[in-house]
Structure formats: structure tokens, C-alpha cells
Structure 1
Amino acid sequence: MTRLRSALLLTLLLALSWCPAAALAEPFRLRLPLACEPGRTCFVQHYVDHDPSAGARDHTCGSRTYDGHDGTDFRLATRALAAREPGTVLAAAGGRVLRTRNDAEDRSLREVGRAAVAGRECGNGLVIAHPDGYETQYCHLAKGSVRVRPGETVTAGQPIAQVGFSGATEFPHLHLTLRRHGTVVDPFAPGLAADGCRPEAATAETVWEEPVRAALAYQAGAVLTAGFADGPVTQDAVESEATRRPGRDAAALVAFVHAIGLDTGDVQRLTVTGPDGRVLAENQAAPLLRPRAESLLFAGRRRPPDGWASGPYTATFRVMRAGAVAIERVFTAALP
């Protein structure tokens, strides 16, 4: 009998060794919740707030968040992308849909005011339950775009909605909140206390699966879009992709940069040089007095009397922070 028990035990152990899932459950992981390319068509605008006071600190003790923010904001590079493939919202993990909202209007908070969305700050959204007590919540979705209903089962990566302007938002983005047993979990620092932060958390373990983890590596600021226009530049034109590239007959040549994640003391500088290497225009902003979520900087000049010279025009954008370059982008426009 003892030999029989030993043989049965050995058989069971061998079976488990060939079936790792039976012996040890896979850790919970998240996929990218948008059909976008991080660093090109989408960026992390805000992280979870780890400051329990009226201040705000992200998991690295940086300023890439705001007071009370309980999720991760994935911002599209332009507003125009919201209706395209990069604006497609995907289930970050498989699970069961708990609840949805699909009838909130798509209107910026700048237009309607905060009182108009009181109690419905998430706007159109949905909540998905996952194994081991996890939940994901998706907010600011486009009206009528939610494709799933409560009770349905979804798979990781399944399209579930489209990015919109509903709820308390001023720009097109997806707000993703992760909870476990009702408590907010920072997907970039799951082991970090809600009221703590540390600089080394930027490279610590996350719940993002590879290669998403590498693609979402922490950045202390980024450039959403940069380019040249043939006249005055407005933020609305940049976000709607309505700027026109300059030609030989352009009345003006203007370089612009739309950046996010700027910090107190940052100095932005945009310099434009002509085909001969001479500086045509330059704009250096004053040091920031407080963190700024986004900034639009431009520099340019009117067409000279003898017209534009043929060749490449180069713009160099730099953000200096504590004596070092924190953000840099170089881009060109070639005139025939």
C-alpha cells in the first residue's frame, strides 16, 4: 500500500510539472487598452496620484498626475485620432462586463463646466471583472460607441469602445482605473503603497505584459506633435490636424510643438534655421512657475521680400530641466 501511494504521488507530481498552470496561477497582466502606438499616436498623460494630501505625486515622486487621480490617462496625439483606429479601446484583460454607460454627450469640460458632469465624471464607460478580485474601468468613451453589455464575456485585446470627450475631460483620452477588491492599484507600481512614491519606481515591476511594459516606460514629458505651418497656429488646429504645411509661396513659415508633462522651472526653447544654417526665428519661454500638463510653443517669420529659399528648414525644440535636456525634438520641412 505504501508503494502504491508513493507511485500515485510521483505520478501526480510529474503531471503537475508538465502543467505549470495547474501548479502555479499566472500573474495578472494588462495589455495596452488602445489600438495605438505608444510614443507616436498615444502617450501617458497622467499617472495615479500617490500623495494623500492636497498635493500630487506620481509613483516616481514626479508631477505627472493631479490631486486625487485614480487611474492612468492615455492621451491620443491629436483629437482627430479619436475616431480612427488608434482611438479604438481594447479590453486590457479578459473578463466579464459588470456595467456600462453609453448615452453621455461628447462635449469638452471647457464647454460645459464641471457642474454639468457632476456624478458622471467618467462619462461613457464600462467596468470589467477579472479573476482574483481585479477590475478595470474605462472612462470618457464616445457616445454610442460601447460595443458590449453587462454580463458579456470579453477577451484580452477585444475592441470594446471608442475614445471620446464624455464626462470630466478636456482632451481626447482613455482613463483606465485598475482595482483589486475595490482598492485602486497603480499598474505602474502595484507593490507601492497608495500614499508613497520613490524615484526608482520608474523601473520597478508593473502589471503590464511585455512588450507593453517597455513601450510604456516612464517619461518625464514628451512631444505629442511637431511640424511646420504656413501661418498662425492654434491649439484647435493642431489637435484637429488642420494646419497646412508651407510651400514656396507661403505667407509665413511657422514651426510648432505640442508638448506634455512639463515641470516647475522648465524652460522651453524652439529655434528655426534656414537652408543656410542661419537662425530665422526663435522662441524661448519663461521658466514655468508650476507643472504644466501641456504646452503649445511656436516660432516663425513672415515671407521675406525675395521669397523663401529652396532647401530644408530645421526646427529644434528643447526643454531644459535642472540644467539638462529633458525633452528634445528636431524636425524639418523641405521647400522645393
Structure 2
Amino acid sequence: MRAFVFVSVVCAVITCASVARSAELQPFAWPVTCELGTTCFIQNYVDHDPSDKTLDFRCGHRTYDGHDGTDIRLPDLDVQRKGVEVVAAASGRVTHVRDGMDDVSVKVVGKAAITGRECGNGAVVEHGDGWSTQYCHMAKGSLGVKPGDSVRSGQALGLVGLSGNTEFPHLHFTVRHDGKIVDPFAEGAAKGECNSGRSLWQPTQGAVSNYPSTEIINAGFADRAVTMDEIETGEVKRSLPGSQSAAIVAYVRAIGLQADDEQALELRSPEGQVVAEYRAPKLPRDQAQYFISAGRKRAGSTWPVGSYRATFVLRRQGAEIARRSFQVDIAQ
């Protein structure tokens, strides 16, 4: 979700400190202690289109209108509650900090409750020469720095949370130079341009250079019908099917889907027979996230023991662009 600037708020509201200028910006470390593409994912990039349309740095649409940062999301709230560190992308001095906001979806509290505090719990670090980084939606009570603190690249600032204007656990990471938004994937790119500019990330951040147009972020099984909220909270992971379960249901959630994408999910028995399958209608429009499921109710007294295997396939313009197979073992 969009994170609004809180650096301009007066010091009486948010504790702040000044910082000296330095000579040169260091390449950025990844600001979340996670494995990109496995334990965390980029939900949204910076929007490069100055109009009401969208354009990310690779000429795609993994963003939304006016988005001014990089949203690094976790798979679900279950992962967030275990604690995932947010770290300083570069050395500098902390100038602004906010803490104390609850970790709760804006869908629950409403936007009026967080007006003027859309960033949620967070921090701003200035790096000199007009450069700064902002970290939003962090966990309540997790901020371990205060204004005036010097931090080194990779030093912990706090934890990923669900505070402020957000519906899912993530870090909204914003880069500014002389007060202007900079895309860390494409520094120097002009407004409306894509496939240009330079990366500000450290060369060692290899996975950051990847640009999957679509990613699978959740896949698993349940003993009943599944909802998006249960996937988001992680509650679905506590409903694995057993031999006497009323049903076996496979589910997959993906992000970055496009209009006309085709999704199919098939569930097979230990003997390889099709137990259930679902072919979703073509998407009528781009979707930031989408989930499908396929399952069947138990017909006999128990489910046959063995490994039940599900396969998800996503096709775009007739070409397969994503596939995931996963299984669950049913014991006696």
C-alpha cells in the first residue's frame, strides 16, 4: 500500500534530528532479512508513469498509480509474527522515528483512524548529500533506534509489520534524493521512462536483479474450503487434511497477474488419478494478487493413504510462465 511521507511532520509529533552531508551514497543492502523470491516478494515497484496509468522500471505494471516506493511483502502474517528484521540499506543517521501503532489491517480500522500516519511505525535514515531512505509499516514496539542514532549498512532497525495504511505484512521502502522520489532499481530514469537508469543495489544482491512478472507466494493444502483471509493470516496452514478429513483442498496464491491470464490447478491421488481440477476463467483485468483452489469432499470412510499431489499452471498469451507442484502425505 502507499506509504505517505512523515518526514515533513513537525518534531513535536515525530521525534527528529538533523544530519550532516557526506560525499557519496553507498550501494544499498537489501532492507529486509529475507530471501527474495522465496521468503519475501516484491508486491509493488515505483510507478514511473506521471499520468493516471502505471509503469514500473521494466515497462511492466507491477505497481499502482502514484506508488512511491518498493513494497517487500511476506507470504503471510504467520511469518510476520515470527519476526523478520528490517535493516538500514546504507550507513547514515536516523532522523525520524514513529512507533506505537497497532499491527492491524486498514480494512479493519479504516483509513480515518490512520490519517496523517499512513506510513505506520517506521524510520527515516539520512545518508548525506541529500539522500534518505524511509521504512514504513513496521511492527509495533520493534523500533530499536531513535533520532540521532548512527546506523551502519545492514544494522537492524526493527521488524516488518502491519501498521498504517496497509492490508498485508510488508516493508514499504522509499528512496529520496533532495526530496524527490528515486527508484532504487532505476536511478536517473526520467519520468515515463522504463528499462533505463542504474541500480542502486549492492552487486551481491543478485536476486534483486531478477524481475519475475508473476510470482507464486503461497501453495498448500487444507481440509476444507479456503478463503483469501485465511491465506493472508496463515491460519490455513493449521488445517492440513488427514485420513478422516471431510475434504482435501489444494490452493495457490499468485501476485502480479495480468488480464487474460489463465490458471489451472489439478489434484491427483496417490495412484495418479485426478481427484479434482479447476480451470479459472481468463482474468478480466490485471490483478495484484489472486488465489484459486481445487478439492473434493471425502466419499468413503477415510481417504486412501499416500501422497496427494497438486500442480498449478499459469499461462499468458498461450505460453506457460509459472508452474508449481506440491504434495501432502496422508497417513493411516
- Superposition TM-score tier, normalisation by shorter sequence: 0.7 to 0.9
Q: Offset at 1:27? A: 6.0
Q: Offset at 1:122? A: 0.8
- Whole-Å separation in 2 of the counterparts to 1:126 and 1:315: 42
* Aligned mate of 1:42, from 40, 43, 52: 40
Which residues of 2 match residues 76-95 of structure 1 at below 5 A?
Answer: 76-85=74-83, 87-95=84-92
| Structure 1 equivalent of residue 205 of structure 2 | 212
- Whole-Å separation in 2 of the counterparts to 1:144 and 1:194: 37
| Structure 1 equivalent of residue 71 of structure 2 | 73
Counterpart contact for 1:82–1:88, Cα < 8 Å: no
Q: Describe the SS at the equivalent of 1:80.
A: helix
Equivalent AA in structure 1 for residue 211 of structure 2: Y
Counterpart contact for 1:206–1:213, Cα < 8 Å: no
Superposed CA offset, 1:60-95 (max 9, x none): 12110000000000000111111324x211111110
| Structure 1 equivalent of residue 285 of structure 2 | 290
- Whole-Å separation in 1 of the counterparts to 2:251 and 2:37: 18
- Whole-Å separation in 1 of the counterparts to 2:57 and 2:285: 19
| Structure 2 equivalent of residue 174 of structure 1 | 171
- Whole-Å separation in 1 of the counterparts to 2:86 and 2:81: 11
Q: Describe the SS at the equivalent of 1:130.
A: strand
Counterpart contact for 2:106–2:164, Cα < 8 Å: yes
Q: Offset at 1:250? A: 1.5
Equivalent AA in structure 2 for residue 79 of structure 1: L
Counterpart contact for 2:266–2:274, Cα < 8 Å: yes
Larger Rg: 1
Superposed CA offset, 1:174-228 (max 9, x none): 0000111211111111132132224xx5xx7411113323345111111111111
Which residues of 2 match residues 246-265 of structure 1 at below 5 A?
Answer: 246-265=241-260
| Structure 2 equivalent of residue 332 of structure 1 | 327
Considering only aligned residues, what root-mean-square deviation do their CA atoms show, in Å?
Answer: 1.7
* Aligned mate of 2:223, from 223, 230, 235: 230
Equivalent AA in structure 1 for residue 234 of structure 2: E
| Structure 2 equivalent of residue 98 of structure 1 | 95
Superposed CA offset, 1:133-182 (max 9, x none): 21100011122221111111001111111111211101010000011121
Aligned length: 307
- Whole-Å separation in 1 of the counterparts to 2:328 and 2:297: 16
Q: Offset at 1:126? A: 0.9
- Whole-Å separation in 2 of the counterparts to 1:305 and 1:248: 10
Mark the runs of 5 or more structure 1 residues left unpaired by the alignment.
1-24
Equivalent AA in structure 1 for residue 36 of structure 2: P
- Whole-Å separation in 1 of the counterparts to 2:323 and 2:150: 44
Equivalent AA in structure 2 for residue 46 of structure 1: N
TM value normalised by structure 2: 0.87
- Whole-Å separation in 2 of the counterparts to 1:114 and 1:168: 7
Q: 1:46 to 1:144 in 2, by over 3 A?
A: same
Q: Offset at 1:101? A: 1.0
Q: Offset at 1:119? A: 2.1
- Whole-Å separation in 2 of the counterparts to 1:165 and 1:322: 36
Bigger fraction of residues in helix: 1
Q: Offset at 1:26? A: 7.0
Equivalent AA in structure 2 for residue 235 of structure 1: M
TM value normalised by structure 1: 0.86
Equivalent AA in structure 2 for residue 159 of structure 1: A
| Structure 2 equivalent of residue 130 of structure 1 | 127
- Whole-Å separation in 1 of the counterparts to 2:156 and 2:209: 20
Identity of aligned residues (%): 47
| Structure 1 equivalent of residue 15 of structure 2 | none
Q: Describe the SS at the equivalent of 2:129.
A: helix
Equivalent AA in structure 1 for residue 273 of structure 2: R
Counterpart contact for 2:36–2:207, Cα < 8 Å: no
